[in-house]
Structure 1
Amino acid sequence: MNIADNSVVEIHYTLTDSEGEKIDSSEGGEPLKFLQGAGNIIPGLEREMLGKAVGDKFQVVIAPQDGYGETNPQLIQQMPASAFQGVDKLEVGMVFHAQNSGGQPIQVEIIDIEGDNVTINGNHPLAGVELHFSIEVVSVREASDDEVSHGHAH
């Protein structure tokens, strides 16, 4: 069976950046399971999965706009340290959960601290990164009606 929309797919993968640094991998663990066509994985990889079959091994490069998007400078902002109530000591690299202007939950990371000015970045950590995937298709099956209606693999 070839991968098509509404297929439940399991893959093993290794993800690296353009310098070959490993970002993530399923190596030594369970394969990644997803419902093809439901937006469970990044758009560029979902597009590349179409037509593949069990046993296929391939490599693909996904441009930022087809992955986690380009870096949005508007999501990098300065705020006073006093905005972080209840945190004793702020440090670069700390991650907080916040809401964007539309009320959606986002993750923000402190990227700089100068005196009382804290710079946060609300971009996804992989925004602006060219993604290099090495993929092996482990299994493909037709999704159940429940999986299709729920929008994810069970």
Structure 2
Amino acid sequence: MQVAKDTLVTISVKMFNLQGDLMESADDLVYLHGHSDIFPVIEKSLEGKKAGDTVTVQLEPEEAFGDYDETALIIRPETDFDGGVEVGLSYTEIRGETLDRVYRVTDIADGVVVLDGNHPLAGIGLKFEITVRKVEPVKKGMETVGNDDVVVPSFLQVSDKPMVANVVDDQGDEELVGKTVH
């Protein structure tokens, strides 16, 4: 069977930066083809492939996680973060102010916190090596995208500004570990 709209496709993926460094890899990922759940360039390159086929796809930043946006930086005093702040934490709210996206703490110095609203891979060209492991028709009851049998990893997801992160509100009492946040 060939990859086509409404087929369940099982793939193995390796993601590299354009310098050839392996950044992510995953085996036995299943997605529903033809529903824009993965990058369009990758989905198109898989169209018509069958189990055992391998494709290599290069994405420019605008085809993946977008160009780096310097206006997506926020600088706040460390005192705005009750209970402390650490590099790597992500916020959608600071002192009751709801932010327009998820912001990740990238630096803390001299009482000042730098938050970055860009996806961690923004501005980076990527190369994917994808092997099709299995192609099968959708079984009855599996037509909906997002059920437990159709899971797309964050590094392949199409989204406005996806980020997989530990999200902690400014009170430090809510944590969403490993969730994709839009």
TM score, norm. by length of structure 1: 0.81
Runs of 4+ in 1 over 3 A off after TM superposition: 99-102
Residue 96, structure 1, aligned to residue 93, structure 2: no
RMSD: 2.1
Give the deviation of 1:47 after TM superposition: 2.3
Q: Could you say what secondary structure the match of 1:74 adopts?
A: helix
Distance in structure 1 (CA, Å) of the matches to 2:138 and 2:65 = 26
TM score, norm. by length of structure 2: 0.70
1:47 is aligned to 44
Distance in structure 2 (CA, Å) of the matches to 1:4 and 1:136 = 15
Structure ranking higher in strand proportion: 2
The answer (yes or no) to whether the contact 1:35–1:152 under 8 Å persists in 2 is: no
Q: Could you say what secondary structure the match of 1:147 adopts?
A: coil
Distance in structure 2 (CA, Å) of the matches to 1:145 and 1:68 = 33
Consecutive unaligned residues in structure 1, runs of 5 or more: none
1:113 is aligned to 108
- Residue number among 69, 72, 77 corresponding to 1:72 in the alignment: 69
How many pairs are equivalent?
144
The answer (yes or no) to whether the contact 2:46–2:55 under 8 Å persists in 1 is: no
Q: Could you say what secondary structure the match of 1:46 adopts?
A: helix
Per-residue deviation, residues 97-123 of structure 1 (Å, max 9, x unmatched): 416655x6x3x3222223122111111
Distance in structure 1 (CA, Å) of the matches to 2:65 and 2:142 = 25
Matched-pair identity in %: 27
- What code does the residue aligned with 1:45 have? I
- Say which structure, 1 or 2, has more relative contact order (CA 8 Å, 6+ apart): 1
Distance in structure 1 (CA, Å) of the matches to 2:131 and 2:59 = 16
Give the deviation of 1:23 after TM superposition: 0.7
Distance in structure 1 (CA, Å) of the matches to 2:53 and 2:36 = 21
